Amino acid sequence: MAAALTAFKDDLSIDVDATIAHAHWLLGNGCDGVLLFGTTGEGNSLSAAERLDFMDALADSDLPMDKLMMGTGCCSFPETVALTQKSLQIGIDSVLMLPPFYYKSPSEDGLFAHFARVVEDVASAQARFYLYHFPQMSAVPFSHDLIGRLLAAFPGQICGLKDSSGDFENMRAMAEKFPGFDVFAGTERYLLDMLRAGGAGTITATGNVTSRLCGEVYANWQGSDADRLQDKLTEQRLALQNYPAAAGLKELLARESGRDGWRNLRPPFLPLAQDKADQLAADMAAIDFSLPKMAA
């Protein structure tokens, strides 16, 4: 799954049509699913009202809702509940939840109470909740004890976790400790390792441009060619992660599509300076990277 970019107009309002078109393009070029409004989608730069309005427009699109996941985690549980309920209303059952991240070092009991309140207030057996473990960004990790408590309290609803910590041993340990719990690596660098460890796959920011090769690794992970494909995929990921994720990825999409609007980001994110943009393009050319054809 790609953690999809959000397209913005020149006034920095959401470009709904371009964002939906990009999700279509991802699904047509290797992705089994698309996460909307995650970190790379600048979800935390959007108001709850903007996200709700976007979901109204999304409901009228022809995107397959069963292939989408919605980022709904906010610091306040009422906003998380409202966004999750809206997601369910339009047919997107899977939601990704950040922890309440403003207050640092919350107690495990406090975190459990937050997520319990969300699940109970959403009050839907259809909802599939995924936890978002990104301690470098949120400073609020998910311990194995907390995951175990949530699984015990809400079986069948706490369904998995995206681990963007970069700690593969933690990912492997969760896959082993919690059978049936979908562990997604937050980087395609560990896609093959995660699958071999019993994980679900990857939800990755750089999947916005590596999706085609991600799909090849996923389709062939039990085959004799898996390691070669993964090595090539890892090479792409390592080249990309030398640049700010949203800015770098949007630069590549702007160059491929010829659409300058892809370079629009909400502050505090900024587009790449010209020298950095040119270096990124050169770095990717040096490893024979190319994107599938995009619409302008």
Is position 190 annotated as part of the catalytic site? no
Is position 86 annotated as part of the catalytic site? no
Residue of 84, 130, 162, 187 marked active site = 162
**Residue 17, C-beta contacts closer than 8 angstroms, at least 6 positions apart:** none
Residue 160 CA, chain-centre distance (Å), reads: 13
Is position 218 annotated as part of the catalytic site? no
Rg (CA), the chain: 18
Residue of 6, 86, 132, 234 marked active site = 132
Long-range contacts of range 178-182, CB-CB < 8 Å, 24 or more positions apart?
178/147, 178/148, 178/151, 181/147, 181/151, 182/130
Element (H, E) at 182: strand 182-185
Whether the CB-CB separation of 264 and 293 falls below 8 Å is answered with: no
CA distance 82 to 87: 9
Is position 132 annotated as part of the catalytic site? yes
Torsion sign across C-alpha atoms 29, 291, 209, 196? positive
CA distance 187 to 198: 16
CA distance 76 to 163: 22
CA distance 176 to 197: 8
The residue with tokens 């560990």 is 190
Rounded to 5 degrees, φ, ψ at 114 are -60, -50
Residue of 6, 19, 39, 72 marked active site = 39
The two tokens of residue 186 are: 């937050």
Whether the CB-CB separation of 45 and 8 falls below 8 Å is answered with: no
Active site residues: 39, 102, 132, 162
